[in-house]
Amino acid sequence: MRITTALTPSTGAPFEIVPLDLDDPRPGEVLVRIVGSGICHTDLIVRDQWYPVPLPAVLGHEGSGIVEAIGPGVTSVAPGDHVVLTYNSCGQCRSCAHGRSAYCDEIYTYNFAGTRPDGTTTLRRDGTPVYGAFFGQSAFASHALANQRNVVKVDPAAPLELLGPLGCGIQTGAGGVLNALRPAPGTSIAVFGSGSVGLSAIMASVIAGCTTIIAVDLNDRRLDLAEELGATHTVNADREDVVDRIRAATGGLGVDFTLETTAIPAVLRQAVDALNQGGTCGHIGAARPGTEVSLDMAALMFGRTVRGIVEGDSIPSVFIPRLVTLFKQGRFPIDKLITTYAFENINGAVQDAEKGLSIKSVLTFK
């Protein structure tokens, strides 16, 4: 079928609105009419070729929409269902078998190859293959072809156009707290970076019952929003010594947990230094491969832990519907993070995101 897409033609180039041909669903695949599509940091670093996804390609991996057709063997969704699209995985490796699909042994093949796992493309331009299947979806388009493993049915009463970011960025921040760090009620946490991932982590920390929640950022407007969403303390890292402020807020001990969302080595070092003895730092920010960080080995020896977190350690079919329920109850107000843009204005949406004028840009379709 002929669809409308936002094509990434070459490294760092603006998105181009072009028509492409999309395959019909094959066994296990699901055709989704996209209603909303979030713009994620990962889309932009792939555009800039931090990760070697082949170009030209259709990116986008925070899609939400309505199922239009299903391929043979699909049982989890049916035409008419409201769905959120998330990351893809093989479902068969050791990690997937243990419910850790975000750490799938074939995660690059299923999400970053630009093709199906068998090497075929889902998109064509005048008969010439175009790379797609990004995160098993390529949601910068009017329609996406996904796999039933990365399609999550959601409550049709929720505003579908806002739910796409639950598939990656918001799931990553919230899951980083609720699934990975799992802070007990009454514990303390500092979140480094108050973008959509960090603010989702702030909201999740409130849900978890943390009583000291510290937001760190350079943008006062974002810090104000973090406070509105439940942060008990805010630190502007441009004007204050972050580690000193965090220790002062915790009686000199440091926090039980930190979450680093920026992918900046110096910030990760601060996030580790701000821990108390026995504390855990979760590292979420997507850095360019080869980026290195320096840590104090003596401090680590005293029970401190640093661990990487992908996609919030989420089982999407379980976690995303839970987040939707929390949103509907007013306990997880993702709408406060989102600015919507017409799909055709994707480059304006990207510019606002890169300038910090929007926290989570979401493209909407007529």
- The predicted-structure confidence for 102-113, as pLDDT tens digits, reads as follows 999 999 999 999
Q: Is domain 173-310 in CATH 3.10.20.30, yes or no?
A: no
Given a cut of 90, is residue 366 above it in pLDDT? no
Tokens 């796999």: give the residue: 147
Counting DSSP H helices and E strands in the chain, the numbers are: 11, 18
Q: Is 133 left (phi over 0), alpha (psi -120 to 50) or beta?
A: left
Spatial contact of 166 and 196, defined as CB atoms under 8 Å apart: no
Q: What is the pTM of this model?
A: 0.96
Q: Say how far residue 298 (Cα) sits from the centre of its chain.
A: 33
Question: What is the residue-wise DSSP string for 97-134?
Answer: HTT-GGG-TTHHHHHTSSS-TTS--SEEETTEEEB--G
Reduced 3-state DSSP string for 321-354: HHHHHHHHCCCCCHHHHEEEEEHHHHHHHHHHHH
Q: pLDDT tens across 33-64, in order? A: 999 999 999 999 999 999 989 999 999 999 99
Does the pLDDT value for residue 315 go beyond 90?
A: yes
Asked if residues 268 and 307 have their Cβ atoms less than 8 Å apart, the reply is no
Residue 184, both tokens:
């007990």
Domain ranges of the chain: 2-167+333-364, 173-310
Q: Cα 198 to the chain's mean position, in Å? A: 11
C-alpha–C-alpha distance, residues 1 and 23, integer Å? 7
Report d(CA 237, CA 131) in Å as an integer.
Answer: 40
Report, as an integer, the average pLDDT of 159-181.
98
Over residues 264-302, the pLDDT tens digits come to: 999 999 999 999 999 999 999 899 999 999 999 999 999
Class for the domain spanning 2-167+333-364: alpha beta
